[in-house]
Amino acid sequence: MQRSNTDRDSAHHSQYLPFSPTTSTQPSTPLAQKHASLPVSTPTTVSSLSGPTSALRYSQARKSIYDRNLNRSKGAELSKSSFAFLFSEMVQYAQKRVSGIQDLEKKLNAHGYSVGQRLLELLVWREGRSAKRETRVLGILQFITNTVWRAIYNKPADALEKSRDHEDEYMISDNDPMVNTYISVPKEMNQLNCAAFQAGIIEAVLDSCMFPARVTAHSIPTETWPGKTVFLIKFEQIVLDRESEFVS
């Protein structure tokens, strides 16, 4: 069947263009040309966001630090230079955010407190079923001066004393605190004792073991030990009341 000339002329003068799936037509109006020149954004998928690298560092066996056995690192040691560098950076970080020596010591004490909470949890987990819950003041202080001190500094504390004037005060002595080994204090800040970080660890262990107390670090230099530090432990009244019940 053949199309007539009239049909051919109407198709030729029609306002619609013939569509071809293989032929691309250019936009005829300026507005269409403007939109056609804009880049087309592709949708973002989850696979494009997750790259080959992540926040955790993995070994060749594809295991993170959370997959390691905690008992395997029980006897591991950390170099003093690494510890000194990390601790000095922490002191400088805290110093920029305080206005005085007391505030700086409080900041260091707070950092040590968070470390002490995690350290106690690790020590109790490693002891397993043999872990013992201390209920007496002398027992918890001996746990700190021996077990906690050895876990951190690979040596026990130098002395444990009880105050003669105050029933609620005890003192732990460290002749050469490791945290002060590579710290140089300027003359205008000679009252600063960075062992407040260590005092925070002691305070966290006591609080977590239900012996609430306030622990502060004091510099007591001697001729033999110019960097000697005494940690003053002042227990709350509830601890003394419980202790008196055990005695009676």
Tens-place pLDDT, residues 68-119: 666 666 666 777 888 888 999 999 999 888 888 999 999 999 999 999 999 9
> What dihedral angle (degrees, nearest 10) is formed by the CA atoms of 205, 208, 209, 214?
60
Task: State the Cα–Cα distance between residues 208 and 201, nearest whole angstrom.
Answer: 11
Residue 55: predicted pLDDT: 61
Tens-place pLDDT, residues 30-50: 544 544 555 544 444 444 444
Tens-place pLDDT, residues 175-228: 999 999 888 888 888 889 999 999 999 999 999 999 999 999 999 999 999 999
Residue 68: predicted pLDDT: 65
Measured between alpha carbons, how far is residue 173 from residues 9, 96, 138, 169, 220 in Å? 109, 30, 15, 13, 9
Task: Spell out the residues 6+ positions from residue 115 whose beta carbon is closer than 8 angstroms to its own.
Answer: 197, 200, 201, 204
Structure tokens that stand for 139 in this block: 């027992």
Is 158 or 49 the better-scoring residue by pLDDT? 158
Residue 228: predicted pLDDT: 94
Residue 34: predicted pLDDT: 47
Instruction: Please say if the pLDDT value at position 11 is more than 90.
Output: no
Within 10 angstroms of residue 70's Cβ, the number of other Cβ atoms is 9
70 and 125 in contact (C-beta within 8 Å)?
Answer: yes
Within 10 angstroms of residue 206's Cβ, the number of other Cβ atoms is 25
H-assigned helices in the chain:
5-12, 30-37, 46-49, 80-95, 101-127, 137-142, 149-153, 196-208, 237-247
Residue 50: predicted pLDDT: 42
Residue 47: predicted pLDDT: 42
Please tell me the number of Cα atoms within 13 Å of 58 on its side-chain side: 8
Residue 71: predicted pLDDT: 65
Instruction: Please say if the pLDDT value at position 121 is more than 70.
Output: yes
Measured between alpha carbons, how far is residue 187 from residues 38, 68, 184 in Å? 65, 45, 10
DSSP symbol at 97:
T
Residue 62: predicted pLDDT: 63
Tens-place pLDDT, residues 45-73: 444 444 455 565 655 666 665 666 666 66
Residue 45: predicted pLDDT: 44
